[in-house]
């Protein structure tokens, strides 16, 4: 199998962390550069909307969307990243991490792909507002879960916070969020996170 991915993509990082956490070394990771304005033929053949990650399987059609791929790989390894006892909480936490990524990437795309004279400050503010509300919800509602056994929700949140550091370090998401910041520091030290940290 091949995973079409990019080092800087937090969604692709999620899947790469899942591979490491479930000890699956037989999936080849193929560096794939793309952006919303590009059409990369191999990627578009796997995922018609041209987004990474995409998983090319030996049998069956390609899988895409990081949540789908993560569930597939966890099942393939008989892993414990989607535990039945707290499945809905895990999925909701994973969705929260992905939502942080969605908003943070939306800001980056607006800055990089739109001419400066067309930048829309209200868009930046609205997207960052989503990030802040999600971070506040993590601190208020999810810390007990985050301090429990590692699951896909932890991975999504860890990758989302890592992406904030990569692309939005100037916004200092840690300010006023000491408990979440301490959790992130510990989680970022996991071998799978260290091995997938973007340069």
Q: Where in the chain is the domain with CATH 3.40.30.10?
A: 2-76
Q: What is the pLDDT of residues 181-194, one digit of tens each?
A: 999 999 999 999 99
Q: Where in the chain is the domain with CATH 1.20.1050.10?
A: 84-196
Q: What is the pLDDT of residue 76?
A: 98
CATH 3.40.30.10 for the 2-76 domain, yes or no: yes
For residue 152, how many other CB atoms are within 10 A of its CB?
27
Q: What is the pLDDT of residues 44-93, one digit of tens each?
A: 999 999 999 999 999 999 999 999 999 999 999 999 999 999 999 999 99
Which pLDDT band holds residue 17 (cuts at 50, 70, 90)? very high
Q: Are 52 and 43 in contact (CB under 8 A)?
A: yes
The architecture that CATH gives domain 84-196 is Up-down Bundle (1.20)
CA–CA distances in Å: residue 44 to residues 39, 41, 66, 130, 176 = 7, 5, 16, 29, 42
Q: What is the DSSP annotation of 72-110?
A: HHHHHTT-SSS-GGGHHHHHHHHHHHHHHHHHHHHHHHH
CA gap 144, 132 in Å, rounded: 19
Which pLDDT band holds residue 24 (cuts at 50, 70, 90)? very high
56 beta partners? 2
């Amino acid at each position: 199998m091949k995973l079409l991915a990019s080092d800087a993509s937090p969604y692709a990082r999620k899947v790469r962390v899942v591979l490491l956490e479930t000890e699956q070394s037989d999936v080849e990771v193929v560096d794939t550069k793309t952006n919303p304005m590009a059409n990369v033929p191999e990627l578009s053949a796997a995922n018609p909307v041209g987004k990474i990650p995409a998983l090319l399987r030996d049998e069956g059609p390609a899988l895409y969307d990081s949540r789908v791929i993560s569930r597939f790989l966890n099942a393939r390894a008989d892993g414990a990243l989607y535990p039945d006892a707290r499945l809905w909480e895990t999925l909701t936490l994973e969705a929260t991490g992905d939502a942080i990524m969605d908003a943070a990437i939306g800001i980056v795309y607006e800055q990089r792909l739109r001419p400066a004279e067309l930048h829309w400050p209200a868009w930046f503010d609205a997207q960052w507002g989503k990030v802040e509300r999600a971070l506040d919800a993590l601190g208020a509602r999810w810390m007990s879960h985050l301090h429990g056994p590692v699951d896909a929700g932890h991975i999504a949140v860890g990758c989302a916070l890592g992406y904030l550091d990569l692309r939005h370090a100037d916004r200092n998401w840690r300010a006023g969020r000491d408990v979440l910041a301490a959790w992130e520091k510990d989680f970022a030290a996991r071998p799978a996170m260290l091995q997938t940290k973007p340069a």
